[in-house]
Amino acid sequence: MSSEAINREVKRRRTFAIISHPDAGKSTMTEALALHAHMISEAGAVHGKGGRRSTVSDWMEMEKARGISVTSTALQFSYTPGTADDSDAPFVINLVDTPGHSDFSEDTYRVLTAVDAAVMLIDAAKGLEPQTLKLFQVCRHRGIPVITVVNKWDRPGQTPLELIDEINERIGLIPTPLYVPVGIAGDYRGLLDRRTGRYIHFERTAGGAKIAPEILMDADEAAQREGDAWTAAREESDLLAELGQDHDQEMFLAGQTSPMIFTSAMLNFGVRQLLDALVEFAPPPHGRTTVDGTDREVTDPFSAVVFKVQAGMDSSHRDRLAYMRIVSGEFERGMVVTHAQTGKPFATKYAQAVFGRDRSTVDKAYPGDVVGLVNAIALAPGDTLFIDPRAQFPPIGSFAPEHFSALRVTTADKYKQFRKAVDQMDAEGVVQVLRNDLRGDASPVMAAVGPMQFEVVTARMKAEFNVDTVVEPLGYAMARRTDESSAPELDRQRGVEVFTRSDGAILALFSDKWRLQYIEREHPDLLLEPLVAAAD
């Protein structure tokens, strides 16, 4: 395929993650975006337990039951903006909904290594929350441009200017609202389009299940209809213009400003505007630098990074899906690529486009696309696939675990299943699995960033393997990387235990930081290397 043809495909692709502190409405927004692209006909069509509806991206039993996302979910769909001509090919949107809870932040981080932009949701009532701040930092660190969405505008909350100031002061990022809401938080009537000066009024639909009809008005009509609410929006918009807070594409791409939109994912207000902003402003896929410092351009031969491995999506097919994000070249199903980590050939016969838990065969794909590879047992997050010339992208790196528990099977005759299940959780990176001779294979130790990861393990062991397990917290609070020569001495110490992780790393666990400091002082010759949290 010619460079020109590849560039044409690249130009009409957008690949982004939806991120936020828990509960700001990411999964609801994901569904609303899919609704606006006509991929689903009704939002919230499936009802979860406890009266909460579940969304297309929250497909796991635990997610439906609790109403939270515990794992990231990819969706690919096409979208034709309202401004497009009939002759324009639709845009291809690759969206990844991420879990908000910090216990699952490693998954979210991996996703952020694979996307070109992020949509940050902020709850209008809550403003900046702890995960909001951390995620803004990660995006800045990785050079990912962010579109800021103030969601839940249908509920009482702060004023637009308060929220804008808070972001400006605490993050050092300048919000540049593309629209200003008409009506305060809790009384969401529509949006003032700052570029055209016109008013978009939204009509409610029953249960917010359908796309909200829009009525377009000029300023006079808007003033007549909305009175003071319109005047207030006009004043806010003028003030922002005076402060220089208008969209500037270069500053946005440089991570200095963030286009801002006010939405209600629940009522489907402002969602089309968000989708259009992504198409208009979010950067198309670009190449990336390999470990040896050379650039792999989008028009170079095929290369891709694996950022997620997920099994158990379908109880009738016990298969494992590796998600790759294509970096360069044209992908054709069936082509044989090389797995950079092993040097082995890898057949891509079973390549699929993903939409939540639904999948369909994909024959061709281009840079930016997220493609699922079925039963790609050899692949792990961070791996590279390529067609000559060789490419290998930097590894993703894992977070330092701070919670450690032994996992024990309680159903006696299920040992084989149990081992299989442990291997699967390990391969997916749901938890890190540690072993040593003393404990044996019957009760491996799980290491996690947060304890909710253990709950996911036990819930999935039951749901996918019908194995009952118990989690026994161990009295360790931190881990250090060590080596074979230091291991015997460390093992002799009180409050210390040495393990081998499945990737071969030797880890020493310590009961607390004082124990660690004592041993460092007494035995300066021992290798005790901090595990670098990838977000540092």
- Of the candidate spans 17-25, 272-280, 462-470, 471-479, the one that interacts with ligand GTP by CB under 6 A turns out to be 17-25
Radius of gyration of the chain, Cα coordinates, nearest whole angstrom: 25
Which one among 61, 154, 226, 426 touches ligand GTP, defined by CB under 6 A?
A: 154
Q: Which residues bind Mg ion (CB under 5 A)?
A: 26-27, 69
**How far is CA 319 from each of CA 75, 197, 313, 322, 323, rounded to the nearest angstrom?**
18, 52, 8, 10, 13
Torsions phi, psi for 109 (to 5 deg): -60, -45
Q: Which is nearer to ligand GTP, 31 or 300 (CB)?
A: 31
Which one among 15, 69, 237, 405 touches ligand GTP, defined by CB under 6 A?
A: 69
Contact between 270 and ligand GTP (CB under 6 A)?
no
Q: What's the min distance (Å) between Cβ of 284 and Mg ion?
A: 26
- 219: closest CA among 248, 186, 259, 190? 190
Which one among 34, 40, 68, 430 touches ligand GTP, defined by CB under 6 A?
A: 68
Dihedral sign for Cα 289, 290, 294, 295, please. Answer: negative
Residue 273: name its binding partner from Mg ion, ligand GTP, none (Cβ under 5 to 8 Å by kind): none
Which one among 25, 160, 183, 382 touches ligand GTP, defined by CB under 6 A?
A: 25
Contact between 72 and ligand GTP (CB under 6 A)?
no
Mapped onto helix, strand or coil, the DSSP state of residue 433 is strand
Contact between 100 and ligand GTP (CB under 6 A)?
yes
Q: What's the min distance (Å) between Cβ of 68 and ligand GTP?
A: 3
Contact between 148 and ligand GTP (CB under 6 A)?
no
Contact between 20 and ligand GTP (CB under 6 A)?
yes
- Of the candidate spans 87-95, 96-104, 281-289, 488-496, the one that interacts with ligand GTP by CB under 6 A turns out to be 96-104
Indicate the angle between helix axes 415-428 and 452-465, nearest 10 degrees.
Answer: 130
Q: What's the min distance (Å) between Cβ of 56 and Mg ion?
A: 11
Determine the Cα–Cα distance for residues 230 and 232; give it in Å rounded to an integer: 5
**What string marks each residue from 101 to 130 as x (binds ligand GTP by CB under 6 A) or -?**
x-----------------------------
Q: Which is nearer to ligand GTP, 263 or 486 (CB)?
A: 263
Which one among 6, 10, 17, 24 touches ligand GTP, defined by CB under 6 A?
A: 24
Q: Which is nearer to ligand GTP, 266 or 479 (CB)?
A: 266
User: Do the beta carbons of residue 57 and residue 27 sit within 8 Å?
Assistant: yes
Determine the Cα–Cα distance for residues 300 and 309; give it in Å rounded to an integer: 26
User: Do the beta carbons of residue 420 and residue 467 sit within 8 Å?
Assistant: no
Residue with tokens 């990660």: 138
Q: Which residues pair with 317 in a beta bridge?
A: 314
**How far is CA 106 from each of CA 287, 321, 456, 504, rounded to the nearest angstrom?**
24, 18, 14, 20
Contact between 261 and ligand GTP (CB under 6 A)?
no
Which one among 28, 113, 328, 493 touches ligand GTP, defined by CB under 6 A?
A: 28
**How far is CA 422 from each of CA 18, 156, 412, 433, rounded to the nearest angstrom?**
29, 45, 16, 8
- Of the candidate spans 150-158, 179-187, 309-317, 511-519, the one that interacts with ligand GTP by CB under 6 A turns out to be 150-158
User: Do the beta carbons of residue 45 and residue 145 sit within 8 Å?
Assistant: no
DSSP conformation letters of 178-189: SEEEES-TT---
- Of the candidate spans 97-105, 195-203, 254-262, 377-385, the one that interacts with ligand GTP by CB under 6 A turns out to be 97-105
Q: What's the min distance (Å) between Cβ of 409 and ligand GTP?
A: 29
Phi-psi region at 38: left, alpha or beta (left = phi > 0; alpha = psi -120 to 50): left
Summarize as ranges the residues that interact with ligand GTP (CB under 6 A).
Answer: 20, 22-28, 52, 67-69, 99-101, 151-152, 154-155, 264-266
